């Protein structure tokens, strides 16, 4: 189906199979081919010159793109209702490149160029977030001069108060890790707009099937493709999707890295080259992805494309299993508090009903009653649940955040994030709920035996 013939409003199940397809290939296989080539030839030296000068589109080296990766980017942009996307080697790389583009030193200097004496920007971020993202901001991006303030995702006024003249991004997860917190994304979008910051939503735990964060006000949506989008635990990948809301020329002095003429880009601004919507994507692709190199391989892109084809069916099953297990745990006296938005007493139930009508994901957490030795007995007795830190797989996984995914958080951040030594995170897969409950019941008995 050519892009000219394709209807604009395809249902998710159809987009998962046909989104982004074009009729440009002379040979048209049903399944898109994998383009395994590090480099691409040019018809002439003038063409090579124009492609490298970014005055003409074209593939030159797989570090910045390939036909297989480009199809994945088009498909994800379409599923998210976005305007374009950049694939990366991992979800961590997607967040890193996005925050460097928005909050790096070049965005704080009048001429849009990075100067060593110019301080970098500032990020306001949710304190209930994946531990790897916290490590990234507290350590590696801090090395680049980017500062961060951690705030409660449920309190938009805290985000407003945390913003400074150097703030360039608000970062929040659509479904928080590990407690499945649901922020009020429209309220945070309003707060970000007031602060002149871009709202970046990590929608990894939701997927575009459960929520399209751009429809709720996000400027940029990022995913770890490793999780629900691929769905089988085999492939690393990430994606950055722009939603069309971010307009740097509305405040050009705030976004000089995009609005001012840049030496690297031939004395032209990125807005001039790629338009309001494309400027941020061009900065991420042609500078940061090119220079830092976290490129997605064509093989991994193909695996992600295969996974996306069944996204809707898989997410329905994931959510059903999670709701059944959450309800069973909430009724069990051996368990303390259980956190999942589907529960009647969840503080996020109203947001779940408003923004997540298809389900609020398959990650939940609970507090196991007892001391640390009970926690160790619980994990030791599990048989179906894998003790692993991934999620989004068909297999259910159990994790102890305090000793694994969030182990490098400070005691203050651990407390703010609601993580204790008794916290257990479950990433529910697609097994039969009765079998999973039997495994949990046996482990809970072992914990309290």
- pLDDT at res. 11: 87
| CA–CA separation, 73 and 112 (whole Å) | 27
Is position 221 within any domain?
Answer: yes
Cis amide bond preceding 178, omega within 30 = yes
Give the N- to C-terminal CA distance of the chain in Å, as an integer.
Answer: 61
Query: Distance between CA atoms of 287 and 270, rounded to whole angstroms?
Result: 11
Is residue 23's pLDDT more than 70? no
The whole-angstrom separation of Cα 69 and Cα 258 is 25
Query: Is 333 found in the same domain as 260?
Result: no
Mean pLDDT of 96-101: 98
Per-residue confidence (pLDDT) for residue 2, from 0 to 100: 42
pLDDT average, residue stretch 188-203: 98
pLDDT band of 1, cuts 50, 70, 90: very low
Same domain assignment for residues 201 and 291: yes
Q: 285, 305, 325 — which closes off a domain?
A: 305
1 located within any domain: no
Whether 243 and 332 share a structural domain? no
In this structure, what CATH number is given to the domain that contains residue 87? 3.40.640.10
DSSP 59-102: --BTTS--HHHHHHHHHHHHHTT-SEEEEESSHHHHHHHHHHHH
Rounded to whole angstroms, the Cα distance separating 85 from 92 reads 16
**Residue 177 Cα distances to 17, 71, 110, 315, 318, angstroms:** 29, 29, 37, 17, 16
109 and 142 in a common domain? yes
Three-class secondary structure of residue 372 per DSSP: helix
Considering the domain architecture, whether residues 143 and 274 belong to the same structural domain is answered as yes
Upper half-sphere CA count for residue 396 (Cβ side, 13 Å): 28
Which pLDDT score, from 0 to 100, does residue 171 have?
98
Q: Which domain holds residue 240?
A: 12-305
Q: How confident is the model at residue 18 (pLDDT cuts 50, 70, 90)?
A: confident
Helix (H) or strand (E) holding 52, with range, is helix 45-52
Do 299 and 337 share a domain, yes or no?
A: no
**Domain tally for the chain?**
2
Confidence of residue 60 (pLDDT cuts 50, 70, 90): confident
Minimum mean pLDDT range among 9-18, 65-74, 122-131, 391-400: 9-18
Both structure tokens of 412: 């203050």
Q: Which two tokens stand for residue 79?
A: 């599923």
| 4: in domain | no
Query: What's the confidence (pLDDT) of residue 8?
Result: 61
The first and second tokens of residue 374, run together, are 């009970």
Does residue 392 contact residue 429 with C-beta atoms inside 8 Å?
Answer: no
- Give yes or no: residues 249 and 291 share one domain: yes
Q: Which residues of 329-352 are buried (b: 16+ CB within 10 A; e: fewer)?
A: bbebebbeebbbbbbeebebbebb
- Whether 324 and 211 map to the same domain: the answer is no
* pLDDT on residue 363: 98
Asked if residue 115 is part of any domain, the answer here is yes
Q: What pLDDT, on a 0 to 100 scale, did the predictor assign at position 61?
A: 86
Residue 436 resides in a domain: yes
According to the model, what pLDDT value does residue 308 have?
97
Whole-prediction pTM value? 0.93
pLDDT band at 319 (very low <50, low <70, confident <90, very high): very high
* Confidence (pLDDT) at 326: 98
Would residue 7 count as lying in a domain? no
pLDDT of residue 25: 55
**346 shares a domain with 287:** no
Percent of the chain with pLDDT over 90: 85
Domain assignment of residue 236, yes or no: yes
How sure is the predictor about 254, in pLDDT bands with cuts at 50, 70 and 90? very high
The answer on pLDDT for 22 being more than 90 is no
Asked if residue 260 and residue 187 are part of one domain, the reply reads yes
* 166 and 296 part of one domain: yes
Does residue 6 lie within any of the structural domains?
A: no
For 329-357, write each residue's pLDDT tens digit.
999 999 999 999 999 999 999 999 999 99
Give the residue from 276, 305, 334 where a domain finishes. 305
One domain, residues 252 and 327: no
User: How sure is the predictor about 62, in pLDDT bands with cuts at 50, 70 and 90?
Assistant: confident
Is 324 or 53 the better-scoring residue by pLDDT? 324
Domain-ending residue, one of 257, 290, 305:
305
What CATH code is carried by the domain that includes residue 441?
3.90.1150.10
Residue 414 has pLDDT above 60, yes or no: yes
- Segments in 268-341 forming alpha helices (H): 270-282, 290-292, 298-308, 311-330
């Amino acid at each position: 189906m050519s892009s000219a013939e394709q209807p604009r409003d395809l249902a998710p199940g159809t987009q998962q199979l046909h989104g982004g397809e074009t009729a440009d290939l002379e040979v048209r296989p049903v399944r898109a081919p994998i383009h395994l080539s590090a480099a691409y030839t040019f018809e002439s030296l003038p063409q090579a010159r124009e492609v490298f000068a970014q005055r003409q589109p074209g593939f030159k080296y797989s570090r910045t793109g390939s036909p297989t990766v480009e199809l994945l980017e088009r498909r994800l942009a379409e599923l998210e209702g976005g305007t374009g996307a950049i694939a990366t080697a991992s979800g961590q790389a997607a967040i890193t490149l996005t925050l460097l583009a928005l909050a790096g030193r070049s965005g704080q200097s009048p001429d849009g160029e990075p100067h060593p004496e110019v301080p970098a920007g500032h990020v306001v971020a949710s304190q209930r977030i994946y531990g790897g993202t916290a490590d990234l901001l507290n350590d590696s991006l801090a090395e680049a001069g980017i500062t961060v303030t951690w705030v409660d995702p449920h309190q938009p006024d805290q985000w407003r108060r945390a913003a400074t003249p150097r703030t360039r991004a608000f970062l929040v997860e659509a479904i928080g890790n590990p407690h499945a917190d649901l922020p009020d994304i429209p309220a945070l979008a309003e707060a970000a707009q007031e602060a002149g910051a871009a709202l970046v939503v990590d929608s990894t735990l939701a997927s575009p099937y459960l929520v399209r964060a751009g429809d709720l006000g996000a400027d940029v949506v990022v995913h770890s493709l490793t999780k629900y989008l691929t769905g089988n635990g085999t492939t690393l990948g990430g994606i950055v999707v722009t939603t069309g809301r971010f307009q740097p020329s509305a405040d050009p002095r705030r976004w000089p890295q995009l609005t001012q003429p840049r030496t690297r880009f031939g004395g032209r601004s990125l807005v001039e080259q790629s338009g309001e919507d494309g400027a941020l994507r061009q900065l991420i692709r042609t500078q940061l992805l090119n220079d830092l190199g976290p490129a997605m391989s064509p093989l991994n892109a193909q695996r992600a494309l295969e996974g996306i084809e069944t996204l809707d069916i898989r997410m329905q099953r994931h959510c059903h299993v999670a709701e059944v297990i959450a309800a069973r745990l909430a009724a069990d006296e051996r368990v303390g508090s259980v956190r999942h938005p589907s529960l009647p007493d969840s503080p996020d139930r109203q947001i779940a009903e408003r923004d997540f009508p298809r389900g609020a994901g398959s990650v939940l957490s609970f507090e196991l009653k007892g001391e640390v030795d009970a926690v160790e007995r619980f994990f030791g007795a599990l048989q179906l649940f894998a003790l692993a830190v991934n999620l989004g797989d068909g297999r259910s996984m159990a994790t102890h955040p305090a000793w694994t995914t969030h182990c490098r958080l400070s005691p203050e951040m651990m407390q703010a994030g609601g993580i204790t030594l008794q916290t257990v995170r479950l990433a529910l897969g697609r097994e039969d709920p009765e079998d999973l409950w039997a495994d949990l019941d046996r482990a809970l008995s072992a914990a309290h035996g």
